[in-house]
A and B are shown apart, each in its own frame.
Chain A
Amino acid sequence: MTEPLHEPQLALHVEDLTVSYESKPVLWDIDIDIPPGVMAAIVGPNGAGKSTFIKSVMGLVKPTAGHVRIFGRPYAAERLRVGYVPQRSSVDWDFPTTALDVVGMGLYGRLGWLRRPGKRERDAAFQALEQVGMQDFAERQISQLSGGQQQRVFLARALVQQADIYFLDEPMAGVDATTERAIVDILHRLRSQGKTLIVVHHDLQTVRSYFDWMVILNVRAVAQGPVSQVYTPENLRKAYGGQIALIERNTFADDAAPASGDAV
Chain B
Amino acid sequence: MLALLGDYTIQTVAMGAALLGISSGVLGCFAVLRKQSLLGDTLSHAALPGICIGFLVAGSRDIGTILAGALVSGAVAALVVLVLTRMSRLKTDAALGIALSVSFAVGVVLLTYIQGGGNASQGGLDSFLFGQAAAILRSDLWIMGAVTAAALALVTLLWKEFKLVSFDPGFATSLGLPVVALEVTMTIMVALAVVVGLQMVGVVLMTAMIVAPAVAARQWTRSLGAMVVLAALFGIVAGVSGAVISATARGLSTGPLIVLAISVIVLVSLLLAPGRGLVWASLRRRRDRRSLAGRQVLSTLYGLAAEHGNQGYPTELGALDAFHGTPTRGTMQRLERRGLVAPVTHEPETTPHWELTPAGLSEARRIDDASRENS
**Chain A residues near B (Cβ < 8 Å):** 22, 55, 58-60, 76, 79, 82, 84, 86, 90-92, 95-98, 101-102, 105, 108-109, 111, 113-114, 116-117, 141, 157
Contacts and interface: CB of A to CB of B under 8 A. Distances in A.
A84 B171 contact: yes
Given A79-B176, A109-B175, A60 B170 contact: yes
Contacts of A111: 160
17 contacts: A55-B170, A58-B173, A59-B173, A79-B174, A84-B171, A86-B168, A95-B166, A95-B167, A95-B224, A96-B33, A96-B222, A97-B167, A105-B160, A105-B163, A109-B177, A117-B160, A157-B171
B168 A96 contact: no
A59 B166 contact: no
Nearest to A167: B174
Nearest to B225: A96
B174 A59 contact: yes
A105 B161 CA distance: 9
B204 to A, nearest CB: 29
Interface in B208-228: 218, 221-224, 226-227
A82 B175 CA distance: 9
**Interface size class, chain B:** 20 to 34
A58 B223 CA distance: 29
Given A96-B224, A101-B223, A79 B167 contact: no
Most-contacted residue by chain A among B170, B174, B226 (CB, 10 A)? B174
Interface string B153-183: 0000101110110111011111111000000
Contacts of A55: 170
A55 B161 CA distance: 20
A96 B227 contact: yes
Contacts of A141: 222
B223 A96 contact: yes
Given A79-B175, A96-B227, A108-B175, A91 B168 contact: yes
B346 to A, nearest CB: 47
A86 B170 contact: yes
The interface residues of chain B, by DSSP majority, are classed as helix
B89 interface: yes
Nearest to B221: A96
Given A60-B174, A97-B224, A116-B160, 10 more contacts: A60-B170, A79-B175, A82-B174, A84-B171, A95-B33, A96-B33, A96-B222, A102-B167, A105-B164, A157-B171
B175 A96 contact: no
Given A60-B174, A96-B221, A96-B223, A108 B164 contact: yes
Contact of A105 (B33, B157, B168): B168
Q: Lowest 8 A-B CB distances belong to which pairs?
A: A109-B175, A84-B174, A58-B174, A91-B168, A79-B176, A95-B167, A86-B170, A96-B227
Given A96-B222, A97-B224, A98-B223, A105 B173 contact: no
Contacts of B166: 95
Contacts of A79: 174-176
Contacts of A60: 170, 173-174
A105 B167 contact: yes
Interface in B1-36: 33, 35
Nearest to B222: A141
A108 B167 contact: no
Contacts of B159: 116
Nearest to B172: A108
A262 B248 CA distance: 79
